[in-house]
Every structure is written in structure tokens, then in C-alpha cells.
Amino acid sequence: MEKPIFPAKTMRITQGYNEGTHVDSYAIDNADIDYGISNIYAPFTGIIKKIYTNDANEVWLESIEPVEYPDGTIDYLTMMFAHANNIDHLFVGKKINMGEIFYKEGTKGNVTGAHCHMECGQGKFTNNGWHKNNAGYWSINNGKKPEECLWIDDTITIKESYSYNFRKIEKEEPIIENKKSTETVEKKESKDFIFVAPKKDLYGVYLKENQKLIIKSSE
Ligand SMILES: [Zn+2]
């Protein structure tokens, strides 16, 4: 199951949720490394559900399958992105793979400086995808805080997180045996039998009681 990931390589949030034009929404603006135009990477594998070119080239991406939210929720996730200057390559129904550069920051709509406005909504795309909120701004349906929807990892540089507590995907650590058993292995090293498979195939191995078989891939 995919863990949806923050869709920019540099997190530099310039406007948080519930402030300014984001009142009564969980929208954030990310301006990446500078006010130039940076790429937006698909946070999950999804389908484009709606494109709205009359305002800020808003694009709705709905996950193809339920995803694992950092707050433990398992559900579909829909995101809306805004301000790209050109979205001619996108169309409703297009499949976008996780990590694919599918959108860019931009200045379309009412903005100063290129950035990407993004909102997360829990679940599938519903109705028109958005609604006019109490502050008069159009906001994604079923809006949810970005830090409750998106993970970060080592590939993302954090410049300004707005003190939102994004959870990090930890790399899976190799299982390290405790010291005692490591020593035992070292002492017995000369008895180790190493067989390198010459080709991809099935191999049979006869094991005595308590013998350990360790299979390593040399990639
Ligand atoms: Zn915004």
C-alpha cells in the first residue's frame, strides 16, 4: 500500500492553512526552493478526476487505491493542485504514477510568485470536488490537514514546515543480530559455505538441524 508523499522536493510552505486566503480550509502553498517554477511529483498513483482552467488550472488527483495516511487512516486520498501555468499534457482519466512529475508551480490565478497551492481531501473525489467555504474560498471536499495525509522522506529538504509535524518514512533497517550471535558467526566464519548462483534458477539445499540459510542478493 502506498504512503502518500509530500509532492515537492523542497518543503517551503509560504502560507499555512486557516490563514489569509486559506481561512476555513487545510490548503497550503509551497514555493519550493525559490520563486522559480519547480516540479510537483505525484504523491501517490492516481487518476486525474477534474481540471478547472477558468481559475488557476486546478487539477484533482484521486488515488487509484486506498493509501496509508501518517495518522493511521487507510482510505482513498484526493488532492487538488493549483497555479500551474500550463497543463495541456493533462486530461481527465489520465493515470499518474507515484513520483511522476505531472504538475508544476506557476502563477496562474491570483498569486504573487510561482508556487503550488495544494489541498488534501480524505476519500474519493466527490461531487464537484470542491465547495465554497464559509470564508468564500473554494476548498476541496473532505479537507484534511496535509501533515495527516502526507509523509516525508530523506529525498525532501525541509526549509519551512510551518511547524507542521510531518511524519517521516523510515528506511527499513537491515536486521542486525545481537552482539553475542554475531561473534559466534564470526568464529565459525571459516565453515561458512558460500554459493553464488550463476544464473536465475531454482536451487535445492539440504540443511542439517539448526543450520541457518542466509540468502543474499548481489543485485
Ligand atoms: Zn493557496
The string of DSSP letters for 112-139 reads SSSBEEEEEEESS--TTSEEE-TTS-EE
Q: How far is the CA of 125 from the centre of ligand 1 (A)?
A: 20
Task: Give the pLDDT of residue 76.
Answer: 98
pLDDT of residue 219: 62
- Report yes or no on 78 lying in a domain: yes
What spacing in Å lies between the alpha carbon of 199 and ligand 1's midpoint?
A: 54
pLDDT of residue 170: 84
For residue 184, report the distance from its CA to the centre of ligand 1, in Å.
Answer: 59
Structural domain contains residue 107: yes
Spatial contact of 139 and 27, defined as CB atoms under 8 Å apart: yes
Instruction: Give pLDDT, residue 206.
Output: 80
- Is 182 inside a domain boundary? no
How close is the Cα of 27 to the center of ligand 1, in Å?
6
**pLDDT profile of the chain (219 residues), mean per 10:** 97 96 97 91 98 96 98 97 97 97 94 93 97 96 98 96 95 63 50 73 81 78
Structural domain includes residue 124: yes
**Structural domain of 57:** 10-160
Residue 87, domain member (yes or no): yes
CATH number at residue 23: 2.70.70.10
47-76: b (≥16 Cβ within 10 Å) or e: bbbbebeeebbbbbbbbbeebbbbeeeebb
Residue 83 falls inside a structural domain: yes
Residue 165 lies in a domain: no
Q: Is residue 178 part of a domain?
A: no
- Cβ(60)–Cβ(119) below 8 Å: no
**Cα of 200 from ligand 1 centre, angstroms:** 52
CA-angle at 63, arms to 59 and 64, nearest 5°? 125
CB-count exposure of residue 173 (10 Å: 0-12, 13-18, 19+):
exposed
Q: What pLDDT sits at residue 31?
A: 95
Number of structural domains in the chain: 1
Residues within 5 Å of ion ligand 1 by Cβ?
29, 117
* Whole-number pLDDT of residue 202: 81
Give pLDDT, residue 196: 75
Q: Quick one: pLDDT at residue 218?
A: 67
Query: What is the distance in A from the centroid of ligand 1 to the CA of 97?
Result: 24
Rounded to the nearest 5 percent, the helix, strand and coil shares of the chain are 10, 30, 60
pLDDT at position 217 is 76
